[in-house]
Amino acid sequence: MDRLSQLIAYAAEAGAQPFRPGSHDCALFAAGWVKLATGQDFARGWRSTYRSLKRGQQLLEEAGFADHVALPPRTCPRLPRLSHRSVTSPCSTTMLLASSPAR
């Protein structure tokens, strides 16, 4: 399965699960994709440590992150701006998803 098909399947599966802070939320969605695609788990140690978004934000701030979007760039290499057609790495896909404006 190519990377885009893998991402689509992952997103479809994730979309069927209920939103639950600390186990299935925005930050862990991104982390789950990177883990699936690369084996690198940048959310290890974060899962199940909070049950509200407020507490999750507090934990991130205590660890030196401004918010959940600040976590992946510390573990993924810096990448050039990519169009949706040129996404090839899981980290760039995560960054694209995390930084895309809501529609």
Residue that wins the pLDDT comparison between 36 and 91: 36
Amino acid letter, 78: R
Range of the domain at 21: 3-99
The 3-state secondary structure of 53-98 reads HHHHHHHHHHCCCCCHHHHHHHHCCCCCCCCCCCCCCHHHHHHHHH
Chain segment 9-68, per-residue pLDDT in tens? 999 999 999 999 999 998 888 888 888 888 888 888 889 999 999 999 999 899 888 887
Query: Residue 32: helix, strand or coil by DSSP?
Result: helix
Domain count of the fold of the chain: 1
Confidence of residue 88 (pLDDT cuts 50, 70, 90): very low
Judged by DSSP in three states, 2 sits in: coil
pLDDT at position 80 = 42
